[in-house]
Amino acid sequence: MVGEAPLTGIKVLEFAGLAPGPFAGILLADAGADVLRIDRAVPGKTHTAGKQGPLTPDMLARYKSSIAVDLKSPSGIALIKQLAKAADVIIDPFRPGVLEKLGLGPDVLSALNPRIIYGRMTGFRRDGKYAAMAGHDINYLAVSGALSLLGRDGEKPHPPWNILADFAGGGAVLFKGILLAVIARQRTGRGQVVEANMVDGAAYLASFPRMALKTPLGNNGRGRNQLDGGCPFYDTYETKDGKYMSVGALEPQFYSILVEGLGLASQPWAAESRRNDRATWAEMQRQFEAAFRSKTRAEWEAVFDGTDACCTPVLEFPELEAETRREGDQRPIVTLRDTPMLAVDQGATSPAVQGQGPGVEGGGYEGTPLAADGGGEEALGRWFGLTRGKEYDVEKGGLVLETKSKL
């Protein structure tokens, strides 16, 4: 029998931020956690039943709900503290000290709720020389050492979007830390502070290539090694129609199938015994390029599909959305057979906020920004049984705890 999602019942307060914090939140939400985003209040904008408030630029909002809170208001801070009493997890995406100055630091909230897991994400290390500085993905990659590995021979280091630091080294690492703290809490009964930073996360991801720098696998300089673009049988090639094929035929048996498929098996350099002879690589590269340009990508797919040549098309996202490309299905990050993750395909809707369109529809390739009050009042009802006008109300565009509340 298939059960509920693995994190069903876990309540998360996610302070609105940029990429890594929301990514940790969406990973938790996709696993069934009830994620309530705390947005910044906008004076003049009110929470009105049936109407959505201002949209935030964050598209990583699937299965989340939101409330706007004035964090400069004592009553707004009081509301957050009340919510924290019932929360399992806090996601703090701000620079060091921001929530502490608001009276919402880990010491305060842990005293209110000893079981709370206080997850906080920074870019630079909290104890490093850059701790007080602003930065972005490229900067965190730079000081982690990972950026020095990326790029072609003779070219400057080149960052790949903001995947490595923000998401892999940031949000995904914080998500892992939170899960570890949830497991530890089962044993200790207490929550704890989970600290993640994108410098350490990116550096950890680069563990293998860093270890390889002093070995023949990686000691030839950036872009001149087997796995970083320096090797002809581990590279990408343009096809006749301007598209690309990827090649990763590292093992001798796979290499043999590749050169046979390319029609190059008779070339002097094509013997398995010579594939790692760097003196042949320039000619091998030239002939690989010429061969791939002789056919369209579809024609090369017909040659290599179903083989062990380790040669596959470089698919682009627009074509992945087409029904003819099953590889384009957006799926959960991992499959759990007995307690499955929630759907992440187009039209995924949250049981918690059904009918609250923004933030829970278009989960595959069209992120829909969540309104600053999208589903939030329903979440307050689920968490506390709170009712607007009784335990809380709106003030200057944000929710505040009613001073007469007996909570």
Is 247 strand, coil or helix?
strand
- Domain C-terminal end among 280, 297, 322: 322
| Separation between Cα atoms, residue 364 and residue 317, nearest integer Å | 11
The amino acid sitting at 38 is I
| Separation between Cα atoms, residue 32 and residue 352, nearest integer Å | 10
10 has a pLDDT exceeding 50? yes
Domain count, the chain: 2
100 has a pLDDT exceeding 80? yes
Q: Give the model confidence (pLDDT) of 71-88 as tens digits.
A: 999 999 999 999 999 999
CA 353 to chain CA mean position, Å: 22
Residue 350, phi-psi category: left (phi > 0), alpha (psi -120 to 50), beta (remainder): beta
Computed over every residue of the chain, the mean pLDDT equals 88
DSSP string, 369-393: PPBTTTBHHHHHHHHH---BTTTEE
- How much is the pLDDT for 360? 38
Mean pLDDT of 135-161: 95
Say if residue 255 is in the same domain as residue 200.
no
| Separation between Cα atoms, residue 402 and residue 152, nearest integer Å | 60
> Please, which pLDDT band fits residue 53 given cuts at 50, 70 and 90?
low
Q: Is residue 369 part of a domain?
A: no
Q: Is residue 181 part of a domain?
A: yes
54 has a pLDDT exceeding 80? no
In sequence order, which residues have a C-beta less than 8 Å from that of residue 327 and are 6 or more positions away? 315, 320
**381 token code pair:** 């009802």
> Residue 20's domain spans which residues?
11-206+375-401
Q: Residue 247 belongs to a domain with what CATH number?
A: 3.30.1540.10
Residues serving a catalytic function are 166
322 has a pLDDT exceeding 80? no
2 has a pLDDT exceeding 80? no
Closest to 22 in 3D by CA, of 62, 77, 50: 62
> Please, which pLDDT band fits residue 375 given cuts at 50, 70 and 90?
confident
Closest to 376 in 3D by CA, of 16, 79, 65: 65
In sequence order, which residues have a C-beta less than 8 Å from that of residue 318 and are 6 or more positions away? none
Say if residue 198 is in the same domain as residue 82.
yes
Cβ atoms of 123 and 135 closer than 8 Å: yes
Q: Is residue 128 part of a domain?
A: yes
Q: Is residue 64 part of a domain?
A: yes
> Please, which pLDDT band fits residue 345 given cuts at 50, 70 and 90?
low
> Please, which pLDDT band fits residue 90 given cuts at 50, 70 and 90?
very high
**382 token code pair:** 């689920």
pTM exceeds cut of 0.85: yes
Question: What distance separates the 2 farthest-apart alpha carbons in the chain?
Answer: 87
Say if residue 196 is in the same domain as residue 276.
no
Q: Is residue 304 part of a domain?
A: yes
Q: Residue 80 belongs to a domain with what CATH number?
A: 3.40.50.10540
| Separation between Cα atoms, residue 14 and residue 121, nearest integer Å | 11
Beta bridge partners of 206: none
- How far CA 179 is from CA of 31, 215, 239, in Å, comes to 11, 35, 44
Say if residue 265 is in the same domain as residue 121.
no
Q: Is residue 252 part of a domain?
A: yes
> Please, which pLDDT band fits residue 350 given cuts at 50, 70 and 90?
very low
| Separation between Cα atoms, residue 346 and residue 366, nearest integer Å | 8
Say if residue 273 is in the same domain as residue 172.
no
Say if residue 21 is in the same domain as residue 76.
yes
Higher pLDDT, 139 or 355: 139
For the ranges 90-94, 313-317, 397-401, the lowest mean pLDDT is seen at: 397-401
